[in-house]
């Protein structure tokens, strides 16, 4: 593997003094990692260099035809001051799967991981110390050919930027209100819904904005064909506790195979809970929430880990889950998973990697 070049920034930014005031995605570290692809050289020129704007030709294929993918993961500081990652190779593997679907060049996972470790080694002082804080990691893959024509690029840029973030739940885990979207569609089977393609998020913004104006935190997406079956909630996977079982929609091509989702399901099984991956209709959500068979509902994702749902709005009616209160299963899964991420809880799965 090619040696990683390091170009140090001449001036360093001041570190945030009050970590509780960090805003997601607004503050970035001093350096970034990049590597390039061409058909002649393969993946090459791995470099840690000063964080700076990218220079793109106006005819860049990403800008016109949307060949763009990203991932999201975090670095955590444990009680001993060591830095930990959570399942990073799974993120890189998922990016490769997404790249194949978008006719992009899959990344060199080993080179990407080596670059991430070198970047974190240089930026270690940017990993926050306060409880619940972390350093968000955004790997990104874009096309770099410059021509107008619907054709896959021959060259690509992969880069990683870092962003310190405050604790997601500053005042504890509070259940959110969800708007069930039955007009707009996020993704369809056979499309790119299972990838973290940039276009998926663009497609979700209008419905999310309209729901927010109505007082709801997120949108619950239904399937594109029958507008009947639950898919994702916002940018998270959706899970329910129905008749004591942890139930979640199956991965059929339109739902992101969340790494947090997979971790939650494995943890639930390890705790002796029955897990079902099956179709869940919005009618079932309504009926089981109303008659008490649904005791919990929650989303899962990198940013929040677990996001409890207290109310749904559907067809003119708002209805509660578990009286609008977070349930014990979601709380226990959150405590265990975050405990593993921060090195507080034993990790029998080998998910937490100490750098």
What are the Cα distances from residue 335, in Å, to 116, 191, 329, 344?
27, 35, 10, 10
Asked if the model's pLDDT at residue 189 lies above 70, the reply is yes
Alpha helices per DSSP H over 12-157: 61-65, 88-101, 109-122
Q: Rounded to whole angstroms, how far apart are CA atoms 10 and 67?
A: 33
* pLDDT for position 171: 61
* Both structure tokens of 340: 């593993």
pLDDT in tens, 325-346: 999 999 999 999 999 999 999 9
pLDDT in tens, 28-87: 999 999 999 999 999 999 999 999 999 999 999 999 999 999 999 999 999 999 999 999
* pLDDT for position 21: 87
Question: What percentage of the chain carries pLDDT values higher than 70?
Answer: 99
Question: What percentage of the chain carries pLDDT values higher than 90?
Answer: 95
- In the DSSP assignment, the letter for residue 64 is H
142 in helix, strand or coil? Answer: strand
Reply yes or no on domain 176-341 having CATH 3.20.10.10: yes
200 in helix, strand or coil? Answer: helix
Q: By the 8 A CB rule, do 292 and 242 touch?
A: no
Alpha helices per DSSP H over the chain: 61-65, 88-101, 109-122, 198-213, 259-270, 282-291, 328-341
Q: Rounded to whole angstroms, how far apart are CA atoms 30 and 232?
A: 35
Strands (E), 173-264: 176-181, 218-222, 230-233, 236-242, 245-248
Q: By the 8 A CB rule, do 85 and 352 touch?
A: yes
Mean pLDDT, all residues of the chain: 96
Residue with tokens 């107008």: 148
Asked if the model's pLDDT at residue 194 lies above 80, the reply is yes
Q: Rounded to whole angstroms, how far apart are CA atoms 241 and 292?
A: 11
pLDDT in tens, 254-301: 999 999 999 999 999 999 999 999 999 999 999 999 999 999 999 999
- For 238-267, what is the mean pLDDT? 98
In the chain, domain spans: 5-165, 176-341
* Both structure tokens of 88: 């990073």
* Both structure tokens of 338: 């975050």
pLDDT in tens, 82-98: 999 999 999 999 999 99
Q: Rounded to whole angstroms, how far apart are CA atoms 100 and 97?
A: 5
Asked if the model's pLDDT at residue 167 lies above 90, the reply is no
* Both structure tokens of 209: 């904005």
What is the pairing mode between strands 134-143 and 73-77? antiparallel
User: Are 5-165 and 176-341 in the same CATH fold?
Assistant: no
Q: By the 8 A CB rule, do 324 and 259 touch?
A: no
* pLDDT for position 169: 73
Q: Rounded to whole angstroms, how far apart are CA atoms 351 and 87?
A: 5
* Both structure tokens of 227: 């507008």
122 in helix, strand or coil? Answer: helix
pLDDT in tens, 205-234: 999 999 999 999 999 999 999 999 999 999
Pick the CATH number of 5-165 from 3.30.870.10, 3.40.50.2300, 3.30.470.10, 3.40.718.10: 3.30.470.10
The residue length of the chain stands at 355
Asked if the model's pLDDT at residue 172 lies above 80, the reply is no
What are the Cα distances from residue 170, in Å, to 57, 164, 215, 222, 245?
42, 15, 20, 30, 29
pLDDT in tens, 99-153: 999 999 999 999 999 999 999 999 999 999 999 999 999 999 999 999 999 999 9
Closest among 119, 95, 116 to 107, alpha carbons compared: 95
Q: Rounded to whole angstroms, how far apart are CA atoms 35 and 138?
A: 14
* Both structure tokens of 50: 């000063």
Q: Per-residue confidence at 168, pLDDT binned at 50, 70, 90?
A: confident
Could you tell me the pTM of the whole model? 0.96
């Amino acid at each position: 593997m090619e040696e990683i070049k390091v170009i140090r920034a001449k001036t360093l930014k001041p570190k945030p003094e009050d970590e509780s005031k960090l805003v997601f995605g607004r503050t970035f570290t001093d350096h970034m990692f990049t590597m390039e692809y061409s058909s002649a050289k393969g993946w090459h020129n791995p470099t840690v260099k000063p964080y700076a704007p990218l220079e793109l030709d106006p005819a860049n294929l990403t800008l016109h035809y949307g060949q763009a993918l990203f991932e999201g993961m975090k670095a955590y500081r444990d009680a001993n001051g060591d830095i930990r990652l959570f399942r990073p190779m799974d993120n890189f593997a998922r990016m490769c799967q997404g790249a194949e679907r978008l006719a992009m060049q899959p990344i060199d996972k080993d080179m990407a991981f080596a670059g991430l470790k070198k970047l974190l080694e240089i930026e270690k002082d940017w990993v926050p110390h306060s409880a619940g804080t972390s350093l968000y990691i955004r790997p990104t893959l874009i096309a770099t050919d410059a021509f107008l024509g619907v054709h896959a690029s021959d060259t690509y840029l992969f880069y990683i930027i870092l962003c310190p973030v405050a604790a997601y739940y500053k005042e504890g885990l509070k259940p959110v209100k969800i708007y069930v979207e039955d007009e707009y569609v996020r993704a369809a089977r056979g499309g790119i819904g299972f990838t973290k393609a940039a276009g998926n998020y663009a497609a979700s913004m209008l419905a999310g904005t309209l729901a927010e104006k109505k007082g709801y935190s997120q949108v619950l997406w239904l399937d594109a064909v029958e507008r009947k079956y639950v898919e994702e909630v916002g940018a998270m996977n959706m899970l329910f506790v129905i008749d004591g079982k942890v139930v979640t929609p199956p991965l059929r091509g339109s739902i992101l195979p969340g790494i947090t989702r997979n971790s939650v399901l494995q943890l639930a099984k390890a705790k002796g809970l029955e897990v079902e991956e099956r179709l869940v209709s919005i009618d079932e959500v309504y009926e089981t929430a109303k008659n008490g068979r649904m005791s919990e509902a929650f989303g899962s994702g990198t940013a929040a880990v677990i996001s409890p749902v207290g109310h749904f709005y559907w067809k003119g009616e708002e209805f509660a889950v578990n009286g609008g209160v977070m349930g014990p299963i979601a709380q226990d899964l959150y405590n265990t998973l975050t405990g593993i991420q921060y090195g507080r809880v034993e990790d029998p799965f080998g998910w937490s990697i100490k750098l």
